[in-house]
């Protein structure tokens, strides 16, 4: 940059040679030694007649110009307080109540025993597949006593469509025998009793308590856990810890219906792989908006069951259910 605009040096003449000798070898073209306290020279190198030492600067030094203020980086949004999160969570619950006023357990059942068996069968499969399988199962084994006396291989063939049929047969035989021997053939209405049955954990127990006995409970299945983490209600992965943290946010009277609404939303709109963000009515309340499809038209094509104009999972849905019943297993 120092060389730009410099004049082309002329060939040395006798007079100029003499003048350069008088200056001495210490002075080089364009390299004046700075005096104490002075900054580096900004000479262009085109002048050759300056003295070997620059004169000290007299008077006050010019003040250094202030740098122009730069735009401050945008500050990150403040972390959401616990109180704000609770308020947002309860608002989401109210919005879901308006969206799914018909939310219900999506397993067909007529009594606590049928619900218990259907819930055990629902592991690692869809409620639809269970609902298509249980009519034949309950026709063959309508009571705990009948099921406890079943031939394992015959039961396996009936429940084969639900997957893991050998392990599930073992659980059904065990819980039926326990009901017969320890509870007089009746399903108990206490969580501490239900979890003693083979194949029954807290999730299954809460499903039975909430929907067969009217005892509030939170059902933490894969849909529920996924959504409450997307909504930043909890960061926990363990189902029992998730249950405890969500239970602290909502009044006990809301627990059962909250579970149905969240599961409904997870199955219909907020899917695991590709959420339909652009068609989600609670998108403004969701801190994870944008994880899925945001284009409204494309998102609407992702909606499932009655939201997408198709049958639900129950063969015998409640009267207020707006969708069509699911087809039976032999209906194709």
Catalogue the active-site residues: 203, 221
CB 105 within 8 A of CB 211: yes
Q: What phi and psi, each to the nearest 5 degrees, are found at residue 325?
A: -65, 150
Nearest CA-CA partner of 242 in 218, 269, 262? 218
Pairwise CA distance, residues 102 & 100, whole Å: 5
Structure tokens at 321: 């259910």
The answer to whether the beta carbons of residues 43 and 29 sit under 8 Å apart is no
Give phi and psi for 33, each to the nearest 5.
-65, 130
Q: Are 323 and 100 in contact (CB under 8 A)?
A: no
| C-alpha separations of 312 from 22, 224, 315, 323 in Å | 104, 18, 8, 6
The C-alpha atoms of residue 146 and residue 180 are separated, in whole angstroms, by: 10
CB 127 within 8 A of CB 227: no
CA angle 135, 264, 255 (to 5 degrees): 100
Q: How many CB atoms lie within 10 A of CB 141?
A: 22
Question: Nearest CA to 199 among 230, 172, 166?
Answer: 172
């Amino acid at each position: 940059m120092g060389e730009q605009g410099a004049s082309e040096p002329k060939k040395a003449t006798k007079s100029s040679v003499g003048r350069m000798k008088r200056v001495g070898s210490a002075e080089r073209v364009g390299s004046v030694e700075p005096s104490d306290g002075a900054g580096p020279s900004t000479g262009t190198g085109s002048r050759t007649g300056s003295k070997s030492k620059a004169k000290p600067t007299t008077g006050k030094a010019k003040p250094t110009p202030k740098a122009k203020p730069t735009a401050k980086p945008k500050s990150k949004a403040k972390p959401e307080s616990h109180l704000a999160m609770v308020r947002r969570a309860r608002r989401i619950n109210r919005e879901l109540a308006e969206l799914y006023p018909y939310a219900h357990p999506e397993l067909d059942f007529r009594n606590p025993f049928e619900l218990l068996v259907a819930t055990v069968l629902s592991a690692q499969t869809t409620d639809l597949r269970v609902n298509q399988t249980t009519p034949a199962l309950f026709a063959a084994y309508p009571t705990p006593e009948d099921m406890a006396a079943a031939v394992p291989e015959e039961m396996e063939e009936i429940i084969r469509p639900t997957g893991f049929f050998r392990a599930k047969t073992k659980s059904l035989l065990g819980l039926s025998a326990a009901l017969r021997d320890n509870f007089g053939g009746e399903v108990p209405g206490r969580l501490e009793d239900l979890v003693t049955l083979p194949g029954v954990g807290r999730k299954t127990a809460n499903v039975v308590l909430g929907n067969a006995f009217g005892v509030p409970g939170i059902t933490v299945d894969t849909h529920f856990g996924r959504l409450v983490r997307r909504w930043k209600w909890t960061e926990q992965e363990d189902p029992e810890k998730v249950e405890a943290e969500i239970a602290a946010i909502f009044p006990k009277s809301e627990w059962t219906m909250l579970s149905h609404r969240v599961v409904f939303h997870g199955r219909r709109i907020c899917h695991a792989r590709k959420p339909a963000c652009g068609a989600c009515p609670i998108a403004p309340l969701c801190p994870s908006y944008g994880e899925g499809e945001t284009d409204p038209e494309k998102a609407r094509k992702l909606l499932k069951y009655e939201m997408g104009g198709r049958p639900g999972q129950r063969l015998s849905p409640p009267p207020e259910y707006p969708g069509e019943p699911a087809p039976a297993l032999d209906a194709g």
